Structure 1
């Protein structure tokens, strides 16, 4: 068999292995995501659509889309909800979750491209097995979280990748991507100071000035936008607690605080060493991706430690722990031929373990929401919305009356029991 045919066969195996966890993941999400709002879905999606129907002009629509949700600007989430409603006539939370989860594919592609292993198909499977596990299931099955948490990562990674390419068109793409990331979630704006320092370090001064100008406009617009609620930030006065949160955040692929602390400390040291090691430090895109993850972890630690260090183990945060480990693997995959076997073994273990641990939790949530029902005289029972079930009832009743959204059939008034 010619050598080219052997290479194609090996590449085909790599693509096929990468496709398996991706397919299983999207089938699982489509099957176990309830078409029922959960938590922030009420304000971020249903209330947005109610106000969209009442808007009388483009100015109101733009203000509605860009309004901050707590400390976050979730414009992309709101745009996705509005487009889904306009296309299909009623919003569907399963579709919205899937839209958000597709950003995971984009994240994997950007990281592979940034690592320079685009044509090494056998380097792909560990990336997809790791990213398409269920450790961060709270984001994967939750419409608002998927559209915000994954979009900000995708656009931020894309921005730093384009920023390293030096072409004018790539610089423009970097500016647009950074802007999109900033209006996906709060930590997206962190890509601007990372990019500014990098451009100055690379002595690309004219582009640094343009980047600073864009950053200034985005920051001014961002902090001028009124918030629908106060910022949910509770810093700690103890440095030790903040550092503990930082390392647990980076190691939250494990749900054990002790193990997460150790994994996070090792990961932080490893990416720092890789950034200055001659063999791997020359990879600018991966270095900037690592910087974005580390600074996001610092920002989370600075703003959330007051809620308790165990908050860092929240499933929705563990995507950053997954990404930092993926970055370490990709940094080594380009320079060594001996990383694939241990990486594929660990990635398979991580993926299978995440399904075993996290899928039952999502099934419980799915069943909890589907058991929620409307009882005559007592309103909605069992729907999760932080302020109160009465608030959820009012929002749902208005959305149904305006034909924006309708609960699944199982939530209709139950038939009276026979006497």
Structure 2
């Protein structure tokens, strides 16, 4: 116990998963595109360089990838080309993880100052695990998710502080989140709710006017509306499938048996999802009780019911819940295992972190209980590494092998030989290699 009470030891213990994650990120990220990486990377850059008219160049940046506008990703590609002189997918994976720094900073600032290091200890172990490794090591997924989480967290933290200066920063960050991935749009109604709770009606009006225009632009010439309509129609016909999918999605961070499509996976993750939502609801009830039911309206008028740290945590949890809701409705027709796709798991993992933070702020647990949570988080982290590290290694080896096949015009990196010719990918990659812009080495 004396060791855990040592401040330096707690810093080392909290920093260990961060250093391990950075080491793994550098070791297992490769400069090899896969599947959608081609469209938003070399194909978009090639079209940009070939195009002369400014308006058409902007259209390339604005064009969606599937149902997502990934403007910030394409801007990152241009940054790497014009500033760093390279089209390097490994660099972009590493750069995308820089956006997790503001996430960790605002979480740190949210924690109680007394014994802050101990309270922070479970966070890196819960979040920096290998459960969502596809989102970590696949460039397009890494950039999309990390940027939307980083910008969104900074936006909600600034907004929760009820500051005019920070309001404009929150507005800008929310816009960047919207341009990073479709779920960035969720921060618009979430931010509006925060402003409403703070009774900042002027800010709410500005927020809705400016960001509602972002929604209009986002869906302008949007090619996937039919896809969303079919998903909603399926939801109307099979609502219970989506309800079950919601809880399966929320428990996806504990999907350790992802190699097989068994009913156990669905039952186990649904149980964890129900448990997380239950803890969330109990924490909300405790929060409202703490404010006092009879005085709640008066506290709202006095603005004493809107604690900044609680608002921030709730806004991020609402973001995770909205992701779960959207996926469970729009993807339900894809089958019952769609909720456990690897790159989705970053959101239930994020929810796990913020459920812990909500418990911390509303239950005010003892140091001993936080210590037990820390032990659980370390075990969870260790189990995720033992379970998925070999998959991460094998994915790197597989991409390197498929890169050789791709160069020979054979099946590889998500494309058949015919698809490579139809989309001109082989020609585009040879172009960048001949110019020294792209090199696997």
TM range (shorter): 0.7 to 0.9
Aligned to 1:220: 216
Of 176, 179, 182, the residue aligned with 2:175 is 179
Q: In the alignment, does 2:346 pair up with 1:346?
A: no
In structure 1, distance between residues paired with 2:62 and 2:54? 12
Q: Is 1:133 matched with 2:166?
A: no
1:263 to 272, 286, 302: 272
Give the superposition deviation at 1:389: 5.1
1:48–1:78 Cα contact (<8 Å) kept: yes
Structural mapping, 1:12-411, within 5 Å: 12-116=8-112, 120-227=116-223, 234-235=231-232, 236=234, 237-255=237-255, 256-278=265-287, 282=307, 283-334=310-361, 335-337=364-366, 338-372=368-402, 374=404, 379-385=409-415, 390-391=420-421, 394-402=424-432, 403=435, 405-408=437-440
Aligned-pair Cα RMSD in Å: 2.9
Deviations 1:33-56 (A, max 9, x none): 221101210111111111221232
TM-score (norm 1): 0.88
Task: Give me the whole-angstrom Cα distance separating, in 1, the residues matched to 2:422 and 2:411.
Answer: 10
Stretch of structure 1 that moved more, 329-338 or 299-308: 329-338
**1:244-289: CA deviation from partner (whole Å, max 9, x where unpaired):** 1110111001222211100101111221222232359842111111
C-alpha contact 1:21 1:128 (8 A) present in aligned 2:
yes
Deviations 1:169-190 (A, max 9, x none): 1111111111011000001111
Using a 3 Å threshold, how does the CA distance of structure 1 residues 356 and 38 change in structure 2: closer, same or farther? same
* Alpha carbons 1:247, 1:262 under 8 Å: kept: yes
| CA distance 1:259–1:88, shift in 2 (3 Å) | same
Counterpart residue number, 1:417: none
CA deviations over 1:200-231 (Å, ceiling 9, x no partner)? 23322111111110121111111115559985
Shift of 1:312: 0.9
Mapped to 1, the partners of 2:51 and 2:110 lie a distance apart of 42
Q: What is the rounded CA distance, in whole Å, between the counterparts of 1:360 and 1:311 in structure 2? A: 23
Deviation at 1:18, TM superposition (A): 2.1
Q: Which runs of 4+ in 1 moved over 4 A?
A: 115-119, 225-233, 279-282, 373-378, 386-389
Under a length normalisation based on structure 2, what TM-score does the superposition of the two structures give?
A: 0.84
Q: Give distance in 2, aligned partners of 1:377 and 1:141.
A: 22
For 2:262, the equivalent position in structure 1 comes to: none
CA contact (8 A) 1:66 1:73 kept: yes
CA distance in 1, matches of 2:93, 2:101: 14
- Matches of 1:176 and 1:374 in 2, distance apart? 43
Aligned 8 A contact 1:130 1:351 in 2: yes
Q: Is the 8 A contact 1:71 1:227 kept in 2?
A: yes
Q: Which moved more, 1:264-273 or 1:373-382?
A: 373-382
Does 298-307 or 105-114 show the bigger shift? Answer: 105-114
How far apart are 1:404 and its partner, in Å? 6.6
Tell me, what secondary structure is at the counterpart of 1:234? helix
Quickly say closer, same or farther: Cα 1:88–1:303, change in 2 above 3 A. Answer: same
